[in-house]
Amino acid sequence: MNVIRKTAGLLVLACPLMLTAQAAPAAAKAAEAPAAYQPIPLLDKSIMDTQADPCADFYQYACGNWSKQHPIPADSPESDQFYNLEQVNTQVLHKILESAAVNDSSRDAIHQKIGDYYASCMDETAVNEKSAAALKREVERIDALRSKAELPALLAHLQLINVGAFLSFSSQQDFTDATKEIAVASQSGLGLPEKDYYFRAGEKDDEIRQQYVAHIAKILSLLGTPEAQAKSDAAAIMKLETALAKVSLDITAQREPHNIYHMKPPAELQTLTPGFDWAAFFQATGAPRFTEVNVAELDFFPGMAQVIQDTDLSTIKAYLRWQLVTAMPGTMLPRALDEENFDFFGRKLAGQPEQRARWKRCVTITDRNLPEALGRVYVEHNFSGQSKEKALAVIHDIEVSMAADIDSLDWMSAETKVKAREKLHLIANKIGYPEKWRDYSSLNIVRGDAFGNGLRAVEFESHRQLAKIGQPVNRDEWFMSPPTVNAYYDPSMNNINFPAGVLQPAFFDAAASDALNYGHAGAVIGHEITHGFDDQGRQFDGYGNLKDWWTKDDAARFEEKSDCTVKEYAAFKVGDTNLNGKLTLGENTADNGGMRIAWMAFLSRIARENAALDTKTAAGFTPRQEFFLAFTQNWCSEWRPELERLVATTDPHSPSRFRANGVLVNMPEFGQAFGCKVGQPMRPAKTCRVW
């Protein structure tokens, strides 16, 4: 689940599975019965290890039996609360799509599109027969490249079908004028998860690079390149990508908005990259005319131009063939390519033993490529107005608590507090689904043409994004589909977004107690609101503009307090890998601050209702204790070692155990609720706090 999206500036709740390409099994049929996943209750005593000392390791106490109750499935690198609810939603979507896939002339346009897209994906025989020829046409387009002068037009075509070779080009909300959409060119072109994978020393890193080069060679061989040439090309591609990685901005530096915002006239971008015809590239994308473009990573583009200049044309062609295949969803590819992609990205990189059943993957790709078509039907089946009303009530309580938290800060001046409250009051709350659904009438979905449907769907979205350039920002747009089990804050929009998919047990239940809802969903809501005031979000004002609204002294005090959090999390280890405290600072700040304001909102709610805080419930815990149990059980999980290492080195979110214990050690209120004494592991004398 999700990382910060540079062009949209999103800050999300949970980290995604890092599977660049997820492949299908050798055969799957529509009639295959899914596993019967059930929603998990908001307080699940069966996953607790009550023999553990809550003052020594609360995560173990709250989640110690998770792996016994929810072992990692063979088709996943993890098992956690998000995964479980995703499977529940996948089952709901599966039923919707199986029904929509019945070839009935009475279907409306939405059901026809989602049904035929899914049915085409599920027809593996047709995919294997047709996709090889369709893929060959794309490969032949690459092979027809006669000179580097023709490269910009070819890269533009590849951009439109979601192949990010060398660079990425799209639209984004302007950082300094949040009312408009602008063009953005940014770095791209790496096949490994992040630039440090090309340079980091160590036995495991060496092994991954060797496996990666072997994987590239196998892909090229499957595309028809003779084996010896494929190995030679793979080595050359690794050299090319390593050179690109060297000039790429690292993921930690990308978190600083000023590092990825450099408005330039196209002529100046052309000067940065001699030999690359940007006018030809822009024209071939079909983008509207523009007078400025955000050259996101300013130092990357001269380096990119040099890499192109230094690389022979045959290697560039091999690289583009490789990039083409690795960008394609496995459901669109012939079986051998599909399985080879999974073997590296799924099995070797993330530790996932088996491919997911094809029906699961076809559900996922339909949701990805037709998000508001399938999402519209999902909402009709699976989201009640009661859930939306209750969620808005909780959000309001937490916003009130955030205002009180700002007022109580002893390190912030009155001047900055006024600006902070102004920003808080301008945060827009989006719950469930868009007010206006996306129009897919111009997208042609043809039954039996999975590869063509996939290309047309991504081209539809590419053109939709490019058409935004020069237009006013649509503040009603969503960047997650309604069934998504996640949430996000967008600093340029200054809004929080909670899809219908996440507003279900075990995260939310309109009928559950306040202790459980504020501990689960309340902490999530608080997390997203606090993102507006973390090290990245605080740089944007209430209208979404990158604007410094802090006094110099307040900014310095913020940095000092943030440094405590950086050092605290940098001391946590996954295997032999320490967390990156700077990379994870924003998410850790949001986790800590969000939990505190959720706690404040819970106490206020209890006070208004004159409810007891210290009387044990039927579950055997006080409401105070249930609040902290609910929060911690958000993060109950088991991950395969490969995924843990991948997340620890590439993801802005801390691994689950530290998202729980790392917050609770900074809350004396937790220690008081469970009788922990100062000096015990879960109640240290020194704590960190920003918000």
What's the whole-number mean pLDDT along residues 54-76?
98
User: In the predicted model, is pLDDT for residue 6 greater than 60?
Assistant: no
pLDDT category, 18, cuts 50, 70, 90? very low
- What is the pLDDT at residue 2? 32
| Confidence check: pLDDT of 118 > 50 | yes
Could you read off the pLDDT of 198-251 as tens digits, one per residue? 999 999 999 999 999 999 999 999 999 999 999 999 999 999 999 999 999 999
What share of the chain in percent tops pLDDT 70?
95
Please give the pLDDT value at position 21. Answer: 33
| Confidence (pLDDT) at 387 | 85
Q: How far is CA 210 from the centre of its chain?
A: 27
Residue 69 CB coordination number (10 Å): 14
- pLDDT of the residue at 384: 79
Check: CB of residue 331 under 8 Å from CB of residue 450: yes
Quick one: pLDDT band at residue 113, thresholds 50, 70, 90? very high
- What per-residue confidence (pLDDT) applies to 3? 29
> Which pLDDT belongs to residue 15?
54
* CA–CA distance, 234 with 226 (Å, rounded to integer): 12
Question: What CA–CA distance (Å, rounded) separates 464 from 529?
Answer: 29
Q: From residue 329, give the alpha-carbon distance in Å to each of 190, 306, 322.
A: 17, 31, 14
Judge whether residue 4 has pLDDT over 70.
Answer: no
pLDDT of residue 9: 54
The CB-side HSE value for 52 (13 A sphere, CA atoms) comes to 17
> What pLDDT, in 10s, does the model give residues 510-566?
999 999 999 999 999 999 999 999 999 999 999 999 999 999 999 999 999 999 999
* Strand, coil or helix: 641: helix
Alpha-carbon span 609 to 667, nearest angstrom:
24
Burial 309-330 (b: 16+ CB within 10 A, else e): eebeeebbbbbbbbbbbbbbbb
CATH number at 138-356? 1.10.1380.10
- 45-74+384-432+484-691 and 138-356, same CATH topology: no
Q: What is the pLDDT of residues 401-454, one digit of tens each?
A: 999 999 999 999 999 999 999 999 999 999 999 999 999 999 999 999 999 999
The three-state secondary structure class of 184 is: strand
pLDDT given at position 575: 86
- Average pLDDT of span 100-117: 96
AA identity, residue 462: S
DSSP string, 210-225: HHHHHHHHHHHHHTT-
* Cβ-based neighbours of 288, under 8 Å, separated by 6 or more: 466, 467, 469, 470
Q: Are 525 and 590 in contact (CB under 8 A)?
A: no
pLDDT at 439: 98
CB 88, CB 358: distance < 8 Å: no
* Ordered alpha helix ranges (H), 248-384: 266-272, 278-285, 300-310, 313-327, 335-341, 349-350, 358-369, 371-382
Spans of all domains in the chain: 45-74+384-432+484-691, 138-356
CA distances from 87 to 35, 65, 369 (A): 8, 20, 19
Mean residue pLDDT across the chain: 94
Residue 197 has pLDDT above 90, yes or no: yes
Beta strand segments in 500-588, E: 573-574, 577-578
Collect contacts of 211-217 with beta carbons under 8 A, ≥24 apart.
211/344, 211/348, 212/238, 212/344, 213/237, 213/238, 215/340, 215/343, 215/344, 215/348, 216/191, 216/322
Q: What is the pLDDT of residues 483-503, one digit of tens each?
A: 999 999 999 999 999 999 999
Residues 79-90: pLDDT tens digits?
999 999 999 999
Beta pairing partners, 86: none
Mean pLDDT over residues 351-369, rounded? Answer: 98
Q: Is the dihedral of CA 623, 626, 628, 631 positive or negative?
A: negative
Residue 24, pLDDT score: 31
Q: What is the pLDDT of residues 625-639, one digit of tens each?
A: 999 999 999 999 999
Contact present, 527 and 590 (Cβ < 8 Å): yes
The CB density around residue 691, as the number of other CB atoms within 10 Å, is 24
Q: Are 260 and 168 in contact (CB under 8 A)?
A: no
Residue 612: pLDDT over 60: yes
Instruction: Give me the percent of the chain exceeding a pLDDT of 90.
Output: 93
Q: Which fold has domain 45-74+384-432+484-691?
A: Collagenase (Catalytic Domain) (3.40.390)
